[in-house]
């Protein structure tokens, strides 16, 4: 039996293990402030720094991307151990569902694929390519909503976020059977159409009830591979998993529309059809002494394929569909509530005890919040210092790119601007510009005969971007904590100070 981890945060009551992988374990946890269950993903101890960076990158992306069909990260803590607080999806994965109940009926499969398309469309608008869409990475929430997760190898197509395409040794990243051909040959070529392929392969899996062949893109020559798919869905599926990206749907929105348009021509589900909510256990009660938030009374979305799925792209933030957080005063009142029929003397004694208990509770919460805010402030300051130190130290990359035809004078001038900046805000702005120009220099540089010089420059760039992403993740945590009510009180009283951060736009620069 795996013992629950001890988290240095009093807001969570960690429960049983929900699942585990090579990098992390996921636990059920009760969020005291929100008054509801959540999932906490905790990085395993003893892993290399690269694993830690990837964990923080994934967590940062999940906290930024908000859509009902994406597993949303509530907050990311870069402590020891690092952990990510996120939505809980107690229906397991699509793969688990298929393993238990077999192939999905066509309308349900189409509804599932459209849900995935909606979530992926939101990621694509943020320039994020998932690159590992498969049934085991699509979780089923309690109300029958599919949520895409596992952004551990996602590729971010902007200069201010991590672009980690392959491991240092050049290992293949992704899952055969769901991986597009161009991704197998060159990870850097992955774009929106790569995820179209992944959704198509996932649709094949749920329709057939089995893992797709590794050469699904060539399986059109073998009709038995698609036997039973149905004439309405077959051309859509073949187009989605075409060998050439240009032959696929250009966007996941186009794929969703094609699936939506064919829905009414698909057979209606049988009376005994399984739904996405089949087998989901009842929600457990709160831990002893805890109080549940006001329940969400919206009817569950029990998908059986009877209602035509909507193409409307739900933009409501995930937090808006969650039960409202418990008011701290309600929680404290619940700790001390008692009979209203006590004699007057007992009433006075009881309320005296209530005052003492509330004072202790409030002081404890304030102390916890103080440690919480100061910790995130220190972590952010260290991340900025680490990034700037690495930026100044990596001037050698300018010479490497110059030897490959990049604009060496411009790169050198940007580098000197970082060193000459008069204060931290100016220095971080200059470092952001330097990083963006460095990325452009790598992309524009020619390949050397043996490829080693460009590969070394690429690796130096990835190290810089990894450090930049750690900064971004910690900044997101700091801003979240500093803008909470306790955080505002602590910063207003001078017990914690706001780090000198540059203003950031929508692109993070």
Residues 482-504 have a mean pLDDT of: 65
User: Which residue did the predictor score with more confidence, 368 or 79?
Assistant: 79
What is the model's pLDDT at position 265? 92
Phi-psi region of 308 (alpha: psi -120 to 50; beta: other; left: phi over 0): beta
DSSP secondary structure of 121-143: HHHHHTTEE-----GGGEEE-TT
Token representation of residue 90: 């107690």
Q: What angle do CA 104, 107, 113 make, to 5 degrees?
A: 80
Other beta carbons less than 10 A from residue 504's beta carbon: 15
Residues 6+ apart with CB under 8 A from 300: 142, 143, 144, 277
Residues 203-220 have a mean pLDDT of: 89
User: Which residue did the predictor score with more confidence, 463 or 148?
Assistant: 148
The rounded distance, in Å, linking the Cα atoms of 414 and 438 is 9
What is the model's pLDDT at position 130? 92
Residues 30-39 have a mean pLDDT of: 89
At 287-330, the pLDDT tens digits run 876 666 655 444 444 444 455 676 765 433 333 332 333 333 33
Token representation of residue 7: 């988290």
Report the share of the chain in percent with pLDDT over 70.
Answer: 68
37 phi, psi to nearest 5 deg: -75, 150
User: Which residue did the predictor score with more confidence, 378 or 159?
Assistant: 378
The rounded distance, in Å, linking the Cα atoms of 431 and 388 is 7
Residues 167-184 have a mean pLDDT of: 71
Asked if residue 192 lies in contact with residue 252, where contact means CB atoms within 8 angstroms, the answer is yes
What is the model's pLDDT at position 162? 37
Q: Is the pLDDT of residue 396 over 90?
A: no
Residues linked to residue 86 through DSSP beta bridges, in sequence order: 39, 73
Asked if residue 239 lies in contact with residue 216, where contact means CB atoms within 8 angstroms, the answer is no
Asked if residue 137 lies in contact with residue 198, where contact means CB atoms within 8 angstroms, the answer is no
Asked if residue 207 lies in contact with residue 226, where contact means CB atoms within 8 angstroms, the answer is no
What is the model's pLDDT at position 209? 95
At 68-113, the pLDDT tens digits run 999 999 999 888 889 999 999 989 999 999 999 999 999 999 999 9
Residues 376-381 have a mean pLDDT of: 72
The rounded distance, in Å, linking the Cα atoms of 91 and 68 is 15
pLDDT confidence bin for 169, thresholds 50/70/90: very low
What is the model's pLDDT at position 69? 95
Helix orientation angle between 485-492 and 452-482, rounded to the nearest 10 degrees: 90
Residues 24-36 have a mean pLDDT of: 89
Asked if residue 128 lies in contact with residue 195, where contact means CB atoms within 8 angstroms, the answer is no
What is the model's pLDDT at position 243? 93
How confident is the prediction for the chain on average, in pLDDT?
Answer: 76
Task: Give the chain's count of helices (H) and strands (E).
Answer: 15, 9
The rounded distance, in Å, linking the Cα atoms of 156 and 163 is 5
Token representation of residue 20: 């585990």
Helix orientation angle between 408-420 and 344-393, rounded to the nearest 10 degrees: 140
What is the model's pLDDT at position 161? 38
Q: Which residue has the tokens 């102390």?
A: 367
Token representation of residue 142: 């309690």
At 435-464, the pLDDT tens digits run 887 788 777 776 666 666 677 777 777 777
What is residue 23's three-state secondary structure? coil
At 187-208, the pLDDT tens digits run 777 899 999 999 999 999 999 9
The rounded distance, in Å, linking the Cα atoms of 275 and 434 is 52
Domains of the chain: 12-86 (3.30.200.20), 94-265 (1.10.510.10), 328-509 (no CATH)
The rounded distance, in Å, linking the Cα atoms of 6 and 14 is 8
What is the model's pLDDT at position 461? 76
410 phi, psi to nearest 5 deg: -65, -45
CA distances in angstroms from 250 to 119, 187, 194, listed in the order given: 16, 18, 10
Q: Is the pLDDT of residue 431 over 70?
A: yes
């Amino acid at each position: 039996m795996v013992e629950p981890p001890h988290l240095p945060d009093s807001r969570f009551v960690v429960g049983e293990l929900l699942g585990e992988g090579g990098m992390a374990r996921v636990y059920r946890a009760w969020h005291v402030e929100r008054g509801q269950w959540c999932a906490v993903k905790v990085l395993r101890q003893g892993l290399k720094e690269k694993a830690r960076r990837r964990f923080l990158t994934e967590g940062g992306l999940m906290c930024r991307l908000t859509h009902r069909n994406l597993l949303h990260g509530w907050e990311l803590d870069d402590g020891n151990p690092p952990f990510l607080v996120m939505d809980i999806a107690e229906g397991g994965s699509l793969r688990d569902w298929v393993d238990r109940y077999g192939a999905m009926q066509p309308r349900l499969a189409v509804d599932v694929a459209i849900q995935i398309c909606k979530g992926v469309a939101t990621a694509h608008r943020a320039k994020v390519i998932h690159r590992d869409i498969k049934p085991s990475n699509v979780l089923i929430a309690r109300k029958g909503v599919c949520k895409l997760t596992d952004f551990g190898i996602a590729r971010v197509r902007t200069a201010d976020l991590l672009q980690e395409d392959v491991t240092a040794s050049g290992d293949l990243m992704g899952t055969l059977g769901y991986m597009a051909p161009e991704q197998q040959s060159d990870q850097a070529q992955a774009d929106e159409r790569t995820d179209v392929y992944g959704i198509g392969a996932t649709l094949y899996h749920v329709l057939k009830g089995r893992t797709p062949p590794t050469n699904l893109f060539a399986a059109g020559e073998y009709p038995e591979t698609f036997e039973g798919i149905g004439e309405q869905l077959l051309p859509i599926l073949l187009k989605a998993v075409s060998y050439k990206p240009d032959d696929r749907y250009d966007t996941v929105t186009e794929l969703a529309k094609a699936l939506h348009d064919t829905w009414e021509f698909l057979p209606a589900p049988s009376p005994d059809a399984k739904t996405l909510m089949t087998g989901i256990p009842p929600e457990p009660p709160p831990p002893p002494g805890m109080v549940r938030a006001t329940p969400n009374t919206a009817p569950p979305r029990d998908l059986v394929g009877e209602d035509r799925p909507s193409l409307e792209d739900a933009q409501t933030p995930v937090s808006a569909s969650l039960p409202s957080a418990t008011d701290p005063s309600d929680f404290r009142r619940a700790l001390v509530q008692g009979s209203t029929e006590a004699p007057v003397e007992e009433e006075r004694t009881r309320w005296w005890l209530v005052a003492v208990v509330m004072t202790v509770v409030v002081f404890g919460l304030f102390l916890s919040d103080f440690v919480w805010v100061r910790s995130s402030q220190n972590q952010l300051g260290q991340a900025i210092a680490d990034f700037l130190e690495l930026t100044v130290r990596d001037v050698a990359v300018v010479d490497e790119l110059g030897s490959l035809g990049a604009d060496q004078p411009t790169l050198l001038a940007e580098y000197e601007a970082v060193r000459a900046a008069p204060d931290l805000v100016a220095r971080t702005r200059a470092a952001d510009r330097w990083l963006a120009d460095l990325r452009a220099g790598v992309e524009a540089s020619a390949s050397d005969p043996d490829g080693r010089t460009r590969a070394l420059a690429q690796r130096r760039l990835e190290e810089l971007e990894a450090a930049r992403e750690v900064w971004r993740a910690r900044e997101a945590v700091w801003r979240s904590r500093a803008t909470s009510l306790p955080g505002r009180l602590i910063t207003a009283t001078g017990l914690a100070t706001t780090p000198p951060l540059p203003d950031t736009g929508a692109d993070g620069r």
